[in-house]
């Protein structure tokens, strides 16, 4: 286990995004409270806790992303720490990277997207409740934006919509404020 503290000076943030690379398991704390855990068992974590499985290949370089509630920040200096755990006592490698991105109160929610099994998975921050996902087939005037009818679901502080059956031709997406 390696603990890596970092100081964060509070500002006026509308939302925070945590991004982590880990090999094999990680738990992240903000001001002593757990804010993220991946590939570790539930319950108390100690220096002897092993990750649930070995992380290898492309998974070692895949960023895990989570929205973090900005109200968890205190006025002044905050403390962030991470503990990295291997899946076995004889592991030959370890890697870790972490970033916490703060977006100011003037920020708008950003869309994220990834192709998964022939479908487009779209996500945006959990604080952006009530926003409507819109789609257009072109960006030439007049642009016609249509509401996406798939219902978003909230998971890991992110809203998610899966759009099955990618079609030929371009699709453009945006969020509309409530």
Check whether 10 has a pLDDT greater than 70: no
Is residue 42 over pLDDT 90?
A: yes
Angstrom CA distances, 70 to 38, 46, 51, 89, 158, stand at: 20, 27, 28, 36, 14
For 96-155, how does the pLDDT look when each residue is reduced to its tens digit (9 = 90+)?
Answer: 999 998 877 677 788 998 888 888 899 988 878 788 999 999 999 999 999 999 999 988
Residues 49-103 pLDDT 10s: 999 999 988 888 888 888 888 889 888 888 999 999 999 998 888 889 999 988 7
Q: What is the pLDDT of residue 37?
A: 96
Name the DSSP class of 140.
S
Q: Is the pLDDT higher at 165 or at 41?
A: 41
DSSP 78-129: EEEEEEEE-SSTT-S--EEEEEEEEEETT-----EEEEETTEEEEEEETT-T
Please write the tens of the pLDDT for every residue from 80-92: 999 999 999 988 8
């Amino acid at each position: 286990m390696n603990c890596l503290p970092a100081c964060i000076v509070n500002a006026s943030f509308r939302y925070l995004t945590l991004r982590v690379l880990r090999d094999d398991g990680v738990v992240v704390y903000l001001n002593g409270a757990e804010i993220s855990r991946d590939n570790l068992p539930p319950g108390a974590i100690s220096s002897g806790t092993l990750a649930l499985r070995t992380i290898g290949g492309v998974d070692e370089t895949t960023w895990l992303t989570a929205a973090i509630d900005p109200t968890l920040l205190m006025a002044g200096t905050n403390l962030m720490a991470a503990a990295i755990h291997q899946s076995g006592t004889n592991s030959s490698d370890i890697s870790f990277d972490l970033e916490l991105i703060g977006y100011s109160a003037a920020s708008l929610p950003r869309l994220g997207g990834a192709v998964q099994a022939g479908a487009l998975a779209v996500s945006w921050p959990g604080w952006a409740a009530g926003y409507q996902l819109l789609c257009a087939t072109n960006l030439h005037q007049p642009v016609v934006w249509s509401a996406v009818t798939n219902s978003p679901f909230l998971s890991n502080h992110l809203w998610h919509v899966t759009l099955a059956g990618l079609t030929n031709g371009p699709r453009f997406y945006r969020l509309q404020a409530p």
